[in-house]
Amino acid sequence: MRFGHFDDEHREYVITQPDTPLPWINYLGSEDYFGLISNTAGGYSFYRDARLRRLTRYRYNNVPFDNGGRYIYVRDNASGAFWSPSWQPTRTALDTYECRHGMGYTTISSSKDGIATESRYFVPIGENLEIWQFTVTNQRETEADLSIFSLIEFCLWDANDDATNYQRNFNIGQVEIEDEVIYHKTEYRERRDHVAYFACSEPLAGYDTQREDFLGAYRGWDDPAAVADGVSRNSEALGWAPIGSHHVKLTLAPGESRRIVFVLGYHENPKDAKFDPPGSQRVNKITVKPVIDRYLRPEEVETAFAELAAYWDGILGVYQVQSPDPDTDRMVNVWNAYQCMVTFNMSRSASFYESGIGRGLGFRDSNQDLLGFVHQVPERARRRTLDLAATQLETGGAYHQYQPLTKRGNDAVGGGFNDDPAWLILGVAAYIKETGDWSILDEPVTYDSKPGSEQPLYEHLQRSVTYTLDRLGPHGLPLIGRADWNDCLNLNIFSAEPGESFQVAPLAKDGTVAESVFIAGLFCLAARELADIAEHRGLADEVTRYLAEADKMEATVWEHGWDGAWFRRAYDAFRRPIGAASCNEGQIFIEPQGICIMAGLGLNDGRAVQTLDSVGERLATEHGILLQQPAFSDYQLRLGEISSYPPGFKENASVFCHTNPWIMIAEAIVGRGDLAYDYYKRINPSTREAISEVHRCEPYVYCQTIAGRDTPKHGEAKNSWLSGTAAWNYVAITQWILGIRPAYDGLEIAPVIPADWDGFTATRIFRGVTYTIEVERAGPGNAVALAVDGKPVAGNVVPLSPDGVDAATVSVTLGAG
Ligand code: BGC
Ligand code: NOJ
């Protein structure tokens, strides 16, 4: 069952009924100012840090789930009837409804009783504000006398404090109202130098800024007294709960349309010029006013919207494909790329499943997010890479997260995840392959953000390798520490304390025994990548060293990490294997299978294929590949959080989507295009659109987890949007199945597509050259014959074009010879 459809031409998902199984959301903003917006206009906004600079309030664990947002009420003054054109919060039945989520904007249109409205929400490029462009049309044959009320609820900035510290918060709220603008200035009188503002383009019939005055006692967003009466209270919030609501009265002739622009924004003043006049307590509005005035003008709004579209044309234009499969095309060309931008921006901080309170930018997460983002805005990828590296510790280890506002490592969320440092190598490698910018390796970068500790980025990569080698366990495999990629495999924690966080609980064991085969595989992959980098730098000794270390680790994996038909997962604190046929539960895990084959293990002796066959037999389901089997049926101290989840959920044997592309890539590496693509399609959100009543999450973005077969909820998705799934699926389909991948010295072309595809066409902008790539199947198999602008090229790498060339056609004959 579907709740909407894709509009590929406009790059939109069109939701045609408001009561989707879960809120289906979109993101506004792409640099500093961000908003989350649902298909019923729910959600909130923040500036840079979802916790510390929250502009509007989000109520956690709300009922209904999606309540509170960017609301507009329409009131028919003749009858007194009022409704929400976005359906929520009044949930009045609408005659028509449509929500279009697009690239950085959302448009909700509806009509009721002959009054049609359209609300378009977006953030202009480069601005710290969002625009609500509201159009109302009288489709009746008689004049319409209408009241329009806007509504937002301000957050008192720190979202965590806002949700908990009422004894203070009910006393600090402050606003100013000047012209048609409501300024939210809580704490501005003291240590803040920022305000939020909410402006309206039309003369006001009234306004409200105090929630209880607007709503009336004991009333909710669905039935505000001011709207019911058609009269704003002109309330001025002092304490309690500041809101922003404008009231505009309109009389519309039959057929007449009117446009109202609302602007919600964030503004900072210099510390020494906060007040105007100086010495007063009034917000200095000198620099913000021109910005507000500009964006209240409809023509400026149109220009800004056109700029947004052009921005996305540019970003998405870097990689476009026309294949025989629409699910592939729309994900590659639009939605998967879009989600990669969102994960790059948000890491795992703010979604409808991530509160925006607890999590900064993850070291591991952000490095992986780069893999799907680096081609979009390479300069931002560069900055992020350097920011991440600057928090690395002198040991080569990493804080698990850093806070975007301070850019410092965050101790409070734990460390000692022993896989973390290796991801930095993969992120940097992806950046250099995309850009050819080797200079990044010479950038001086601090350790632990300490001035004076700067060393070239290259040294950070060296220390990442050393970090693993310095921490080997009894079998010579890497010690797992607190956990590895699987945050829930806590082999040293032994937590028996209710509510204790597995992320920060003290280690009960000294950590010198439990080992990770996954980190071993990741190490081989990263060390071999670093050897390639060293080779390009002419560092022959280092090449030898990294290759030798990788080979040694590989030998250890074969000796102690191979179970006979697949790779083991780990050894626990008692040296017992995890992910082995001899285990009762957790016999086979997906992670080491994918990562070891990506690192090149078993490619020459059939063991990679044997491993993938085991995955197919034991882990693959119609809804994707399970993380492990059989699920753990009880909580086990020696395993930690993984066994805390009921069987089939999250790390305990769901389809943990992030890991599925590793298997797709591995299948592509062993040359099995049909299987790689089959796995790709099983979790492709567009493919799953047809079963939206089962999947329940948005059909246009990946989710983190799909319930596994050990639960009756098999197939139900959760945690949409913010997951490494976005970047890795993007890599799997674009670089390994379609096979167009940046390499240090050119663009590698090695498609491993389904046998029944005749070919495909793609455009890839790479190092300033637009390549049109035409792939044609001449026979079975994956052998590639290349011609660039008609001239045959040996091998499968399109060499870098000479300077001055900005376009080339690459003809690829597949399965030839
Ligand atoms: C989740 C993991 C997540 C971890 C980090 C756990 O509860 O299951 O998926 O990575 O928390 O916060
Ligand atoms: C989600 C985390 O963000 C990610 O870093 C981790 O690898 C997975 N969960 C698996 O536990």
Residue owning the nearest CA to atom 3 of ligand 1:
487
- Select which of 487, 563, 572, 710 is catalytic: 487
Return the ligand 1 atom nearest residue 656 CA.
Answer: 9
Tell me the pLDDT tens digit for each residue of 277-286: 999 999 999 9
Encoded tokens for 707:
């319930």
pLDDT attached to residue 510: 87
Residue 359 has pLDDT above 90, yes or no: no
- Ligand 2: which of 485, 501, 503 to mutate, judged by most atoms within 8 Å of the beta carbon? 485
Q: Which residues of 62-93 are buried (b: 16+ CB within 10 A; e: fewer)?
A: eeeebbbbbbbbbbbeeeeebbbbbbbbbebe
Return the ligand 2 atom nearest residue 483 CA.
Answer: 11
Task: State whether the Cα torsion 165-166-171-177 is positive or negative.
Answer: positive
Residues 6+ apart with CB under 8 A from 535: 543
Q: pLDDT band for position 817 (50/70/90)?
A: low
Average pLDDT of the chain to the nearest whole number: 97
Ligand nearest to the CA of 347: 2
- How far, in Å, from the CA of 246 to the mean position of ligand 2? 43
pLDDT attached to residue 816: 75
Q: Nearest to residue 335, comparing CAs of 316, 350, 317, 307?
A: 316
- Please indicate whether residue 650, judged by its CB atom, sits closer than 6 Å to ligand 1: yes
- How far, in Å, from the CA of 356 to the mean position of ligand 1? 14
Tell me the pLDDT tens digit for each residue of 447-474: 999 999 999 999 999 999 999 999 999 9
pLDDT attached to residue 408: 83
- Over residues 652-657, mean pLDDT: 98
pLDDT attached to residue 802: 86
Clarify whether 487 is annotated catalytic. Answer: yes
- Please indicate whether residue 651, judged by its CB atom, sits closer than 6 Å to ligand 1: yes
- Over residues 712-725, mean pLDDT: 98
186 vs 244: CA distance, rounded Å: 13
Ligand 2 contacts (CB < 6 A) are 348, 362, 364-365, 485-488, 651
- Please indicate whether residue 705, judged by its CB atom, sits closer than 6 Å to ligand 1: no
Tell me the pLDDT tens digit for each residue of 755-791: 999 999 999 999 999 999 999 999 999 999 999 999 9
Q: Nearest to residue 812, comparing CAs of 757, 768, 769?
A: 757
Q: pLDDT band for position 402 (50/70/90)?
A: confident
Ligand nearest to the CA of 657: 2
Return the ligand 1 atom nearest residue 651 CA.
Answer: 8
pLDDT attached to residue 680: 99
Q: pLDDT band for position 411 (50/70/90)?
A: confident
Tell me the pLDDT tens digit for each residue of 46-70: 999 999 999 999 999 999 999 999 9
Ligand nearest to the CA of 362: 2
- Please indicate whether residue 722, judged by its CB atom, sits closer than 6 Å to ligand 1: no
Tell me the pLDDT tens digit for each residue of 164-183: 999 999 999 999 999 999 99
Q: What angle is formed at CA 664 by the lines to CA 659 and CA 667, rounded to 5 degrees?
A: 130
204 vs 226: CA distance, rounded Å: 14
Encoded tokens for 492:
């040293």
Would you report the helix, strand and coil content of the chain in percent, each value rounded to 5? 30, 25, 45
669 vs 739: CA distance, rounded Å: 10
- Ligand 2: which of 487, 489, 626, 649 to mutate, judged by most atoms within 8 Å of the beta carbon? 487
Tell me the pLDDT tens digit for each residue of 525-534: 999 999 999 9
Whole-number Cα distances in Å, 141 to 74, 83, 137, 255, 302: 18, 20, 12, 8, 29
Residue 405 has pLDDT above 80, yes or no: no
- How far, in Å, from the CA of 351 to the mean position of ligand 1? 14
Tell me the pLDDT tens digit for each residue of 137-162: 999 999 999 999 999 999 999 999 99
- How far, in Å, from the CA of 76 to the mean position of ligand 1? 48
Residue owning the nearest CA to atom 10 of ligand 2:
486
pLDDT attached to residue 413: 77
Taking the CA atoms of residue 682, residue 686, residue 688 and residue 689 in that order, the dihedral angle to the nearest 10 degrees is -170
pLDDT attached to residue 428: 98
Q: Nearest to residue 264, comparing CAs of 109, 74, 90, 71?
A: 71
